[in-house]
């Protein structure tokens, strides 16, 4: 699958924006200004972007606790996301959702999800709606290695197969469900092995490699759009931070993250590949980095001074009518 220069720039810009967003949140969270729980996606960018580069607004995704990257990859407004994470009234969800519930249905983003394994059943519904209404859309459930062990995921794999839905289940295996190793908690070698039991293709890719994810996701999405049914894609990758911000990560080996950053960083791998092939030059990539930094700087600055919701907002938005 050949990507144009513009598409390569878009891919890098999106991954870079996610990285800047998450690295900045890591710093800002430590100041105590951000309420609640924050789960960072840094290190996993190639997965969300490699999949979502194939999608448009008619396509739906459902995300996880670790949802910021999926939101940005699916086109959610970065200012609105940051304001939401700060609990501001002009956040994407009016300050009522927060990091774990950022959503933008107009963009096809059905929400980060505070329930592990909450997304796959919803994605069966989005796939069903696309099929019944003939939109040509597909629906993607991002699931972590932890969520891959939930009954909801197994049930959804089966239902998607039985109903032949245009759904793709992307297992982002970052090696840890909270602090528990996926090598221990997943009974088979790869989560993707389970696909055969549901009569669908299951593929394992290096989730650090944008191009590998893009290629494998493209095949699955094309098949789904053409009526060929669901697929399972397992992206093996790593997260650079804890399960949540504040996690001391005592379960990880010494220098584990440092080594990963040096050897398996998806952004570095992307730069190397595109510059090595003469597709983009470093100056272009550096310029994108600066743009992403400025975008996130602006988002944080705006979020910090944005108005907070007030008593008048507490009781609204529960029902359409009541």
Partner 1 sequence: MARTVTYQQAINEALAQEMERDETVVVMGEDVAGGLGTDGERDAWGGPLGITKGLYGKYGDRVMDTPISESAFIGAAVGAATAGLRPVAELMFIDFMGVCFDQIFNQAAKFRYMFGGKAETPVVIRTMYGAGLRAAAQHSQCLYPVFTHIPGLKVVTPATPYDAKGLLIQAIRDNDPVIFCEHKALYTLEGDVPEEPYALPFGEANIVREGDDVSIVTLGRMVHVANEAAEALSGDGIECEIVDLRTTSPLDEDTVIETVENTGRLVVLDEAHPRCNMATDIAAMVCEKAFDSLKGPIKQVTAPHTPVPFADTLEDLYIPDAAAVQKAVKAVMESSK
Binding site for partner 1 (CB under 8 A): 60, 62, 91-97, 101, 103-106, 110-111, 113-115, 118, 120-126, 128-130, 132-133, 135, 139, 151-152, 155-156, 158-159, 162-163, 316-322
Nearer to partner 1, 159 or 205 (CB): 159
Q: Would you say 69 or 118 has its CB closer to partner 1?
A: 118
Cβ proximity to partner 1, 26 vs 101, nearer residue:
101
Q: How far apart are CA 140 and CA 170, in angstroms?
A: 7
CB 87, min distance to partner 1, A: 12
In angstroms, what is the minimal distance from the CB of 45 to partner 1? Answer: 24
**Residue that the structure tokens 């924006």 belong to:** 17
Question: Under a CB-based contact definition with an 8 Å cutoff, are residues 195 and 166 in contact?
Answer: no
Cβ proximity to partner 1, 205 vs 221, nearer residue: 221
Question: CA–CA distance from 42 to each of 20, 65, 67, 190, 237 (Å)?
Answer: 9, 13, 11, 23, 11
For 139, the token pair is 């629906």
Q: Least separation, in Å, of the C-beta of 151 and partner 1?
A: 6
Dihedral angle at the C-alpha atoms of 79, 82, 86, 90, nearest 10 degrees? 30
- Pick between residue 175 and residue 309 the one whose CB is nearest to partner 1: 309
Extract the tokens encoding 223. Answer: 């098949």
Nearest-approach distance from CB 132 to partner 1, in angstroms: 6
Give least dist CB 48 to partner 1, A.
20
- Per the CB < 8 A criterion, the answer to whether 209 and 263 are in contact is no
Q: How far is CA 181 from the centre of its chain?
A: 20
Sequence-separated (6 or more) residues with CB below 8 Å from residue 145: 171, 172, 173, 174, 175, 176, 177, 182, 185, 186, 191
Nearer to partner 1, 155 or 206 (CB): 155
- Closest distance between partner 1 and the C-beta of residue 236, in Å? 26
Nearest Cα to Cα of residue 98 among 178, 43, 25 = 25
Residue closer to partner 1, measured from CB, 128 or 279: 128
């Amino acid at each position: 699958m050949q990507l144009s220069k513009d598409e390569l720039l878009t891919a890098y810009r999106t991954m870079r924006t996610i990285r800047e967003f998450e690295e900045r949140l890591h710093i800002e969270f430590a100041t105590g200004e951000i309420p609640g729980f924050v789960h960072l996606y840094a290190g996993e960018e190639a997965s969300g972007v490699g999949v979502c580069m194939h999608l448009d607004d008619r396509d739906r995704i459902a995300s996880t606790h670790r949802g910021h990257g999926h939101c940005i990859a699916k086109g959610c407004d970065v200012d609105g996301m940051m304001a939401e994470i700060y609990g501001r009234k002009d956040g994407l969800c009016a300050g009522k959702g927060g990091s774990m519930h950022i959503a933008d249905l107009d963009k096809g983003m059905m929400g980060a999800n505070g329930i592990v394994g909450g997304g796959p059943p919803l994605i069966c519904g989005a796939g069903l709606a696309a099929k019944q209404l003939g939109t040509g859309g597909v629906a993607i459930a991002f699931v972590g290695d932890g969520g891959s062990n939930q009954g909801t995921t197994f049930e959804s794999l089966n239902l998607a197969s039985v109903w032949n839905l245009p759904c793709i289940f992307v297992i982002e295996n970052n090696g840890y469900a909270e602090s528990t190793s996926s090598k221990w908690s997943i009974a088979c070698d790869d989560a993707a092995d389970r696909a055969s039991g549901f009569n669908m293709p299951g593929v394992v890719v290096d989730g650090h490699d944008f191009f590998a994810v893009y290629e494998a996701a493209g095949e699955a999405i094309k098949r789904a759009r053409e009526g060929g049914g669901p697929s399972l894609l397992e992206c093996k990758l790593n997260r650079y931070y804890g399960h949540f911000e504040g996690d001391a990560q005592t379960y990880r080996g010494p220098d584990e993250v440092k080594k990963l950053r040096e050897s398996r960083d998806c952004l570095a791998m992307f730069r190397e590949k595109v510059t090595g092939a003469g597709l983009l030059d470093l100056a272009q990539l550096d310029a994108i980095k600066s743009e992403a930094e400025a975008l996130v700087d602006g988002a944080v600055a705006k979020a910090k001074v944005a108005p907070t919701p007030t008593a008048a907002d507490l009781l609204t938005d529960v029902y359409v009518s009541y």
